[in-house]
Structure 1
Amino acid sequence: MSLRNAYLLIFLVLIVDQFSKIYIKTNFIHGDEVRVFSWFRILFIENEGMAWGTKIPGAYGKLILTVFRLLAVVGIGYWLWTAVKAHSSRYLVVAIALIFAGALGNIIDSVFYGVIFSSSHGQLAEMMPQHAYGTWFHGKVVDMLYFPIIENYQLPSWVPIWGGEKITFFNAIFNIADTAISVGVGILIVFNKKAFHKKETSEDTIVTTHETSAPANE
C-alpha cells in the first residue's frame, strides 16, 4: 500500500470523525439522546480525559495528556512512514493508518475545541464564539456512539462480587476516531501473522533462485 493511499484513508477517517463531532456539538445539548434502535443510540457527552473518562489528576493533568497524545501521534506517524517504505503488509499499513487517524482525530478535539466552541451544557454550542468554554490544549473530546446491546441485565446472585447487580453491555460511549483506533488494533491482533509478514524483496528472490539453480558440486 502506497503512502498516498494511506494518507487518503487517514483523510477520509478525519473528515467523517470531525464532521460527526461538529454536527453533534452544534445540534445537541450535552446529554441529549436520540434512539436509533433499542440497541443503538446517539448520546452526546464530552470526555475530558482518556477512555471511559479516565483523567490524569492535578491542575496540569489535561495538558499532560494532550502533550502525550501529540508525542504518541508523531511516533505512530513515523511508524506508518517506515512501514510503507519497507513495503510492509497491507494489513499493517491499513492498521497503522487507522490508529494514526483515530489518534489525530481526538487530538484535534483536545487542542482546538476549547477555543473554537462555547459550552454545550444547557445550550447549543456556538462555533467561533466570543466566549469559548476552554483554552488551547484543554478541549474536551466529543463522544456520541452508544450501543447498549444488553441493558439493565440483573446478574444471578451466585456470581462473585457483582451478583445481583444490574449491568449494561456495551456501556462505553465513543466516537469515529475511537472506532478507527479499535479497528486498527483489531487488525493487528486478528491478522497478526499477515500484518507482520515480511514481504520477499526482488533481491531475496534473485538470491533464492540462484541458490536453487546452483550445481550440487558447488
Structure 2
Amino acid sequence: MNEGINVQKRKRIIIAIVVIALIIDQAVKFWVKTNMTLGESFNILGLEWANIRFIENNGMAFGIEFGGRTGKLFLSLFRIFAVSILGYYLFQLVRQNVRTSLLISFALILGGAIGNIIDSAFYGQLFSASTYALPASFLPEGGGYESLFHGKVVDMLYFPILRGHYPDWFPFWGGQSFLFFRPIFNIADSFITTGVISIILFHRKFFITADNSDALAANEEE
C-alpha cells in the first residue's frame, strides 16, 4: 500500500513540474508575442549581456531549421511522437525504484518539449503574424497566420556574455570577431537543456545499470 501511495505521489510531482514548466514557458511567450514586435529587444535588469530579443523560428531548438514546409510538418509530427514516447517512458520510470531527481530531469525535458510543440502546432492558428511594425494579436478575427502544425516557435532569451576577436594566428577564424553565447532561445529550450545536462552529470549510472541488467537478463535466457 505504501508503494502505491509513493507511486501516486511521484506522479503528482512529475505532473506538477510539467504543468508549471508549461505555464511559465507559455506565459512568457504569450507576453512577448502580444507585446513586442519582431526584432525588438531590451536588457534584463539593465544588464547588457542579458537580453529579451523577440525572434521566431520554424525549426528545432536554438533556431535550427530544415526542409521547408514539408520538413516543418514532419518536425511537428515527429515532436509529438517523440514526446508521447518520452511521456510513456517517464511514467514507466515512476513505477520503478529510481531517484526522484531523475524523474524531475525527465519532467523538465517533457515540459519543455510540449511547450515548443504548442508553438509549432497551434500558434499559427491562435495568433496573427508578428511583424517589425506591430505585435501579434491573440485569436484575430481573420484567423491565424498559418495552418495547423506550421506555426513558428517564439524565442526571446539572448545572452551575449562574451565578445572579442580571435588572435591572428588562430586557424580559420584568425582576426575575426566572436560572440558567446550567440543563439537566441526560449524558456522551453532552457528546461530541456537543464534536464539533459542534469541527467548527464548526475544520473549516468542509471543508464549503465539498466544496460547491465538487460545484458544479464539476455545471458540468463540463453
Q: TM-score range by the shorter chain?
A: 0.7 to 0.9
Within a 5 Å distance, the mapping from 1:115-130 to structure 2 comes to 115-121=125-131, 122-129=133-140, 130=142
Match of 2:20 among 9, 12, 21: 12
Question: Using a 3 Å threshold, how does the CA distance of structure 1 residues 24 and 58 change in structure 2: closer, same or farther?
Answer: closer
* CA positional deviation for 1:50: 1.2
Pair 1:137 & 2:145 matched: no
Residue 215 of structure 2 corresponds to which residue in structure 1? Answer: none
Secondary structure in 2 aligned to 1:107? Answer: helix
Match of 2:117 in 1: 107
Unaligned runs of 5+ in 1: 199-218
C-alpha deviations, 1:143-191, integer Å up to 9, x for none? 101110013x111011111111111100111111000000000111110
Structure 1 partner of 2:85: 75
Is the Cα contact below 8 Å between 2:128 and 2:137 reproduced in 1?
yes
- Alpha-carbon RMSD across the aligned residues, in angstroms, is 1.5
Q: Equivalent of 1:55, from 48, 65, 72?
A: 65
Once the 2 structures are TM-superposed, how far is the Cα of residue 142 of structure 1 from its aligned partner?
A: 0.4
**Residues in 2 aligned to 1:11 and 1:195: alpha-carbon distance in whole angstroms:** 25
In the TM superposition, what is the alpha-carbon distance from 1:51 to its structure 2 partner? 2.5
Instruction: State the Cα distance separating 1:120 from its structure 2 match.
Output: 0.8
Alignment of 1:65-214 (within 5 A): 65-121=75-131, 122-129=133-140, 130-151=142-163, 153-193=164-204, 196=207
Counterpart residue type for residue 24 of structure 1 = V
Answer with 1 or 2: which has the greater Rg.
1
Aligned residues: 197
Deviation at 1:33, TM superposition (A): 0.4
- Percent sequence identity over matched residues? 45
> 1:15-42 deviations in whole A, cap 9, x for unaligned?
0000000000000001000012111000
| TM-score, normalization by structure 2 | 0.85
Partner-residue secondary structure (3-state), 2:175: coil
| Alpha-carbon distance in structure 2 between the residues aligned to 1:12 and 1:145 | 19
The question of whether the paired residues in 2 share the 8 Å contact of 1:13 and 1:102 is answered with yes
Q: Which has a greater percent of helix? A: 2
Structure 2 stretches of 5 or more lacking a match?
Answer: 1-8, 210-222
**1:58: how far off?**
3.9
Q: Normalising to structure 1: TM-score of the pair? A: 0.86
